[in-house]
Structure 1
Amino acid sequence: MYLGLDLGTSGLKGILIDDAQKVVAEASAPLSVKRPHDGWSEQMPTDWIGAAESVLGQLARHGLGALRGIGLSGQMHGATLLDAADDVLRPCILWNDTRAHAEARVLDEDPDFRAITGNIVFPGFTAPKLVWVARHEPAIFAQVARVLLPKDYLRLWLTGEHVAEMSDAAGTSWFDTGRRDWSDALLAKTGMTRAQMPRLVEGSEVSGILRPELAERFGIPKGVVVAGGGGDNAASGIGVGVVKAGQAFVSLGTSGVLFAANDGYQPDPATAVHTFCHALPGTWHQMGVILAATDALNWFARLAGSRASDLTADLGALIAPEKTLFLPYLGGERTPLNDAAIRGAFIGLEHTTDRSAATRAVLEGVSYAIRDCRDALAATGTKIESLLAVGGGSRSRYWCQAIATALGTPVSLPVAGDFGGAFGAARLALMAATGAGAEIATQPTISAVIEPVLALSDAFDEGHARYRRAAAAIRGLT
């Protein structure tokens, strides 16, 4: 058996698969986010360990005596700062934290960062966070002996090893994405050194061995390997078999991602597209990323005093967008705006705007943001020949059809099951433990294909045009 652990923003999930890649057990534990100031987003790494202990304890009741490998997936970009004794110095600054926007802007003005990393220096990336810490918390910065990404702090607990893998490291702004190695030059520009960085492995390689005391505690055989794993989206790409050029998926989770696999390295930072290493050797991927997808729907559900699933359950068939428009920029935006200051808005509210109309506007607004990502990917030369939908938001047929219609592209839905980061991490564990290659990362059976509603294409085109005009106007006010 092989275990995948996915450290998300709102919880940690574990999936256990057998040699045939059938899911035999799963478990989860919740996590919460602290927002002590506007634009801040933090978690305590010790909470991740508590969640991992809970998940392993739940899975141990199913029996872990046949376990051969563990793979890791997780939220990217988080700055987990450790001292020389591996003690945590402060709460982890998360991926959706925008406090370092000024520091990111200064770094991004240095052309070496885009040239070497292949990406804009976004406020949520790791390097600008360390510059922020150096300026605002110098006593803490002086003690930093190691910087780990969130899932790699779990690896430290599991194995005692300081290790990262290529897909996650590529989102730090310290990484030479084409060469698949840390950039000493970029590290030096932020007051850091290679000695403070973890050792690098590929996602399908062995990164360490499970500590004996943990093996004994949870009934796991000694010598179980821990794979490099992948950042959450790269691992999800492995989980849904998006590993070759032309294959893509849209993820409707807390954030929204349009992820496309590439056979080569083809960066274009000006588009605000993320160009990262994939979790398999010699492969890369590109992503258009929006910061609020289901997060936007959940926000509106709280405002409306309802559950998100109830809001979407009674929408019926897809209809043409109405006057009400929603911009999902609740905490800034990445692709294609690269704007930490922009904020969301409802526009075109009128007496007839009821709860259902507002819900549709939220789903449409996120769909338009995904279309912006598609257009940005196309500008780099990336073509999408097939598109899968994953994540909690993909359970809404209305939302999937809105995306299909906004993009003019059919959206395929996998059969019931979780093919996300935890499943991809389990596949990477299988690769590391057995030496299997990319051929095991097949695409799941498709349960349904959601076609665009051609009769509504013009209406969605006009809705997207209004959305772009509204976004330009809102940027002028923030």
Structure 2
Amino acid sequence: MTRSALRLGIDLGTSAIKAVAIDDAGTAVASSDSPYPTHADLPGQAEQEPSHWLQAAATAVGNIGSQLGPAWPAKLASIGLTGQLPTLVCLGENGALGRAIAWTDSRADQWATERLDRDRRRHFYRQTGMPIDGRYLAPMFQFHWQARRSVVRRILSAKDFLCFALTGRAVTDPSTAAGYGVYGIADKRWDPALCAFWELDPQFLPEIAPANTIAGPLNAAGSRLLGLPEGLPVFVGAADSVAGALAMGGLAEGSVSIVMGSSTIVIATGREALLDPEARYLLTPHALEGWYGREMDLLSTGTGFRWLCGLLGWNAEQFEVRAQRSPPGANGLCFSPYLAGGEQGALWNPALRGVLHGLTLQHDPADIARAFLEGVYFEIRRCLDVLSDSSPAGSDRSGAIVLSGHAAENPGLMRMLADVLDRPVRCFTHRSPSAIGAALLGFGNDAGSLATTTAQTAARAEPGPAASAYDRLYRRYLGLFPRIAEAPSDGSEVR
């Protein structure tokens, strides 16, 4: 590899393709994104056109070329992939069969809840590391495709579909395989018993290979789509959560990455495969073999932010400025941010809904805005408390916390988060950590060491005087919105 070599990372995200080119030192030299729509005409529906993903990938990579000049393809050494998870694509004889069912689709939630009693959920968690619900690929496939399964030849996640389109090979990695709901985390293979439970023919599933290995050369169709040389190595890639964590913190025991996008991903990196007795987090294979991520996902925090901006008639900057005019505690207002219809953070219950508690005639829009942000940050703290309590060091709170996303660019929001967490927070300097992580995987066996030495963080926010007040406010919040012990079969709330 020459000093001029570049690596391309492509992140097939929830709402857009993000592409990043990095140099051989791991530094981003160009980036672009291209959005696509989500179809949500029915209650709980969230579907996307795989063809839109491919068009967006072509646009984003084309924009990279515009930034780097016509000679850049000759400098490109590899392509790495990552993507939203779990999102279901069904393939037939001639490609994708209709729309993909996105991970935000909730239509299978109630059906899956009725099939999974407490003992079965615990058994599945021990086998997979996943608190299985209706948003994993196997139950999604049975719920949505049972009557049409005869035309299906393969099921793939979004990232694996992109890999298939570029190489012709149906392959996944362990971190993405976990999102299928039938991957045995101890055996590191598809579990026949779990496949049988969901009536899923194992022949529908892709093969499994390490994320930092080559899936295949870029095929002719992929070359035409991206405008890149045919034969370029395409790496298998990893789930967006662990790819982002790899870029933000490398492989460091106890480090915690917080990725704030359409949802918020909280993931702690470690070498031990630690299951939680209460199944409050996902145990997922990390981007590289021998490492694991303990992951908790807060649904639709970014989507909820945009929704609330629309309700209040503000843009993002106005929202953030006005929210900070309200004092800590939002004048007694509390906002539980369960706006996606359910939650998968520390609570893991599809019955949860958003609640605005304590509203009076004296409150103004700034209070509502601050209460929403504090609610998201309180839920992040709840996740960190779980990860800390279940860590090998017990209640150790010394691991680094790195934040990415829009909040990382706002010093006031960074300080608010540090106050709520009562811990220092560092910001990641690039807005596409998962795409950078995907590009790093293109370094193969050197991916881990390079990521650990090149993680790009800048500003650091320290807890301030408001931290003590937030400790009291957090305890109050937990009392108002406690953990739900178990989601009942009828979907109602039980406290």
Q: Same fold (TM over 0.5)?
A: yes
- Where does residue 17 of structure 1 map in the other structure? 22
Give, in whole Å, the separation in 2 of the partners of 1:330 and 1:241.
29
Select between 441-450 and 11-20 the one with higher mean Cα deviation: 441-450
Contact 1:271-1:335 within 8 A present in 2 as well? no
Give, in whole Å, the separation in 2 of the partners of 1:199 and 1:149.
12
Specify every segment of 5 or more residues in structure 1 that has no aligned partner in the other structure, as ranges. Answer: none
- Post-superposition shift, 1:32? 1.5
Give, in whole Å, the separation in 2 of the partners of 1:144 and 1:425.
29
Relative to 1, partners in 2 of residues 1:339 and 1:219: Cα closer, same or farther, differing over 3 Å?
A: closer
The equivalences for 1:127-276 within 5 A come to: 127-133=138-144, 137-215=145-223, 218-268=226-276, 270-276=278-284
Contact 1:405-1:452 within 8 A present in 2 as well? yes
- Post-superposition shift, 1:320? 2.3
Aligned residue type for 1:417: H
User: Is 1:367–2:377 an aligned residue pair?
Assistant: yes
**CA shift digits 1:123-166 (9 cap, x unpaired):** 32222212212xxx533223222110001111111111101111
- Post-superposition shift, 1:218? 4.8
Give, in whole Å, the separation in 2 of the partners of 1:128 and 1:374.
29
Aligned residue type for 1:324: L
Aligned residue type for 1:263: R
- Where does residue 343 of structure 2 map in the other structure? 333
**CA shift digits 1:423-453 (9 cap, x unpaired):** 1111111x23xx4241101253432211112
Give, in whole Å, the separation in 1 of the partners of 2:248 and 2:37.
27
Give, in whole Å, the separation in 2 of the partners of 1:160 and 1:463.
53
**CA shift digits 1:327-385 (9 cap, x unpaired):** 10011111222211221021112223222211111110000111111122123225551
- Where does residue 471 of structure 1 map in the other structure? 481
Work out which of the residue numbers 407, 411, 431 in structure 1 matches 2:421.
407
SS at match of 1:64: helix
Work out which of the residue numbers 63, 72, 76 in structure 2 matches 1:58.
63
Contact 1:288-1:376 within 8 A present in 2 as well? no
Give, in whole Å, the separation in 2 of the partners of 1:465 and 1:190.
40
**CA shift digits 1:188-242 (9 cap, x unpaired):** 1111122111111111111111003433665533321111111111110111134
**CA shift digits 1:14-50 (9 cap, x unpaired):** 1111222222222211112111222221111111111
Give, in whole Å, the separation in 2 of the partners of 1:38 and 1:459.
40
- Where does residue 9 of structure 2 map in the other structure? 4
- Where does residue 75 of structure 1 map in the other structure? 84
Aligned residue type for 1:335: G
- Post-superposition shift, 1:290? 0.8
Give, in whole Å, the separation in 2 of the partners of 1:57 and 1:446.
28
User: Is 1:301–2:309 an aligned residue pair?
Assistant: yes
Relative to 1, partners in 2 of residues 1:166 and 1:205: Cα closer, same or farther, differing over 3 Å?
A: same
Aligned residue type for 1:361: A
Select between 40-49 and 416-425 the one with higher mean Cα deviation: 416-425
**CA shift digits 1:219-277 (9 cap, x unpaired):** 53332111111111111011113422211111111111211101121112624201100
Aligned residue type for 1:123: G
Select between 247-256 and 373-382 the one with higher mean Cα deviation: 373-382
Specify every segment of 5 or more residues in structure 2 that has no aligned partner in the other structure, as ranges. Answer: 1-5, 485-491
Contact 2:440-2:447 within 8 A present in 1 as well? no
**CA shift digits 1:84-141 (9 cap, x unpaired):** x1432232111122211234322464243122102211332222212212xxx53322
Contact 1:258-1:370 within 8 A present in 2 as well? yes
- Where does residue 360 of structure 2 map in the other structure? 350
SS at match of 2:252: coil
Give, in whole Å, the separation in 1 of the partners of 2:117 and 2:11.
30
Give, in whole Å, the separation in 2 of the partners of 1:232 and 1:44.
19
Relative to 1, partners in 2 of residues 1:446 and 1:48: Cα closer, same or farther, differing over 3 Å?
A: closer
Count, aligned residues: 469
Aligned residue type for 2:320: T
Relative to 1, partners in 2 of residues 1:126 and 1:87: Cα closer, same or farther, differing over 3 Å?
A: same
- Post-superposition shift, 1:315? 4.7
Relative to 1, partners in 2 of residues 1:269 and 1:100: Cα closer, same or farther, differing over 3 Å?
A: farther
SS at match of 1:171: helix
Select between 386-395 and 416-425 the one with higher mean Cα deviation: 416-425
Relative to 1, partners in 2 of residues 1:317 and 1:305: Cα closer, same or farther, differing over 3 Å?
A: closer
Give, in whole Å, the separation in 2 of the partners of 1:269 and 1:129.
26
Contact 2:166-2:221 within 8 A present in 1 as well? no
Aligned residue type for 1:51: A
Relative to 1, partners in 2 of residues 1:86 and 1:244: Cα closer, same or farther, differing over 3 Å?
A: farther
Give, in whole Å, the separation in 1 of the partners of 2:302 and 2:57.
24
Aligned residue type for 2:273: Y
Give, in whole Å, the separation in 1 of the partners of 2:186 and 2:45.
31
- Where does residue 37 of structure 1 map in the other structure? 42
Aligned residue type for 2:218: L
- Post-superposition shift, 1:473? 10
Q: Cα RMSD between the aligned structures? A: 2.2
- Where does residue 487 of structure 2 map in the other structure? none
The equivalences for 1:372-451 within 5 A come to: 372-381=382-391, 383-384=396-397, 385-414=399-428, 416-418=429-431, 420-429=433-442, 431-432=443-444, 435-442=445-452, 443-451=454-462
Give, in whole Å, the separation in 2 of the partners of 1:172 and 1:269.
22
Give, in whole Å, the separation in 1 of the partners of 2:437 and 2:483.
40
Relative to 1, partners in 2 of residues 1:217 and 1:395: Cα closer, same or farther, differing over 3 Å?
A: closer
Aligned residue type for 1:312: E
**CA shift digits 1:52-101 (9 cap, x unpaired):** 12122223333312211000011011111112x14322321111222112
- Where does residue 333 of structure 2 map in the other structure? 324
Give, in whole Å, the separation in 2 of the partners of 1:285 and 1:318.
36
Name the % identity.
Answer: 28
Relative to 1, partners in 2 of residues 1:261 and 1:464: Cα closer, same or farther, differing over 3 Å?
A: same
Give, in whole Å, the separation in 2 of the partners of 1:241 and 1:473.
29
Aligned residue type for 1:179: D
